[in-house]
Amino acid sequence: MLEIHRIREEKDAIIAALDKRHIDATADIEAILHADEARRKTQVELDNTLAEANKLAKEIGELFRNGERDKAEAAKNRSGELKERSKELQDALNNASDELQNLLVGLPNTPHQSVAKGKSADDNVEVKRVGNFPTLPDNAKPHWELTSEYGLIDFELGVKVTGAGFPIYTNKGARLQRALINYFLDKNTAAGYTEFIPPFFVNEESGFGTGQLPDKEGQMYHMPEDNLYAIPTAEVPVTNMFRDEIVKAEDFPIKSTAYTPCFRREAGSYGKDVRGLNRLHQFDKVEIVNICHPNDSYQQLEEMVAHVANLLDELELPYRILRLCGGDMGFTSALTYDFEVWSAAQERWLEVSSVSNFETFQANRLKLRFKGDDKKTHLCHTLNGSALALPRIVAALLENHQREGGIHIPKVLHTYTGFETITK
């Protein structure tokens, strides 16, 4: 959520920045400033009314002690009027604050100056491309055929147990999944990230804190009886561990990692692009979260990007890094880099990670602050990234590393899987 003082001070700059998202925010900004002005005027009147009431309360006793009964009674009557007025003003202030809050939460984050204006993924900027496309055997198959042929994933059994988008991993498919999770966690902890196992369900406050609510409510699985949400990513519970906290500046950067299953409704998804592991309702992911000083957040972002790139290098997967344009960025992001791996059998790029800097947008919603050298509290910057999302990594590993007679496992995973090749 954008800070109201920033909107007051940088109105034109914010409107120009949001134009990169193809959003004309002029009317929204004007409405926010109007609501803010009304709230501030009401607050001033309430403060003055309460101050007058407090002053009268002291005077009434003094008037009675001095025998000035008529003046004391008049003061009591005035005090009663002020009490009623203060109730009216408090209600008006609450309404004005709610109106302002509702307007603020509907406004997305402003893109970083490096973000290109664009409408869709077609306008994203390719920053880097690494690795060569593999040469596959003539009888190469997409992963949904390989997983069936080698007994790695049973999609139909998942449909029987739950429904489409909930696969069941079997035998070496399950071991490969577990191996990747452990490999990612080991690499993350070696890079200074503290490992957590967070809850897989969160309350409404947590969904709001990281920006999933109310923006992505339709994509989340909701349990109305308990008003809990199944997490779409570990970013939500891990970042919310620091909600309503004043962290120590000397602890920066605060780096966390977690493995969780993730749940996304993905309503309306259909077609060839969602076959097999390409899009699921439940999938595994290892996440990294970074809370840092505002002056350091873009250096931290570059380090996180380099860390994810190293994981893909070691997995021997060709990939590219994209800087997302304004129209393709998430609601809360100021700058996002997407990683896509090449799926050789499908002959298309598959997104496997997004690494984002949210600047103060999440921290403002979370009330996540630190005390600066000036002894005042300031909002932290928050960042997160997938390191990595497993379904499309598994898809690319199987497709890109298929050989005559089996599927090659990258060397870095051998100690985790206990096998070097998957054979029939």
Average pLDDT score over residue span 66-71: 84
Handedness of CA 220, 223, 228, 230 (dihedral sign): negative
Binding site feature residues: 233, 264-266, 287, 351-354, 384
Domain-wise residue ranges, the chain:
4-105, 121-422
Tell me how far CA of residue 288 lies from CA of 142, 155, 280, 305, in angstroms. 30, 29, 21, 11
Pick the residue with more confidence: 69 or 335? 335
- Quick: pLDDT tens for 137-176: 988 999 999 999 999 999 999 999 999 999 999 999 999 9
Binding site feature residues for ATP: 264-266, 351-354
Handedness of CA 182, 186, 189, 193 (dihedral sign): negative
Query: Which residue(s) pair with 339 in the sheet?
Result: 321, 353
Q: What is the DSSP letter of 353?
A: E
Q: What is the DSSP letter of 404?
A: T
Which superfamily does 4-105 belong to? Serine-tRNA synthetase, tRNA binding domain (1.10.287.40)
pLDDT, residue 318, reads 98
**Intrachain domains 4-105 and 121-422 with the same fold:** no
Find tokens 């709610």 and name the residue: 98
- Tell me the residue length of the chain: 424
CA proximity to 401, closest of 141, 130, 183: 141
Q: How many helices and strands in the chain, by DSSP H and E?
A: 13, 19
Q: What is the DSSP letter of 169?
A: E
- Judge whether residue 417 has pLDDT over 90: yes
pLDDT band for position 70 (cuts 50, 70, 90): confident
The CA distance from 43 to 123, in Å, is: 45
User: Any idea which of 64-68, 217-221, 353-357, 375-379 has the lowest mean pLDDT?
Assistant: 64-68
Phi, psi dihedrals of residue 81, rounded to the nearest 5°: -65, -40
| Global model pTM greater than 0.85 | yes
The CA distance from 153 to 214, in Å, is: 35
The CA distance from 382 to 398, in Å, is: 34
- Judge whether residue 208 has pLDDT over 90: yes
pLDDT band for position 62 (cuts 50, 70, 90): confident
- Judge whether residue 284 has pLDDT over 80: yes
pLDDT band for position 72 (cuts 50, 70, 90): confident
Query: Could you tell me if 417 and 176 are in contact, meaning their C-beta atoms sit under 8 angstroms apart?
Result: yes
Q: Does domain 121-422 have CATH number 3.30.930.10?
A: yes
User: At a CB cut-off of 8 Å and minimum separation 6, what does 59 contact?
Assistant: 75
Average pLDDT score over residue span 30-43: 97
pLDDT band for position 270 (cuts 50, 70, 90): low
pLDDT band for position 216 (cuts 50, 70, 90): confident
Binding site feature residues for L-serine: 233, 264, 287, 384
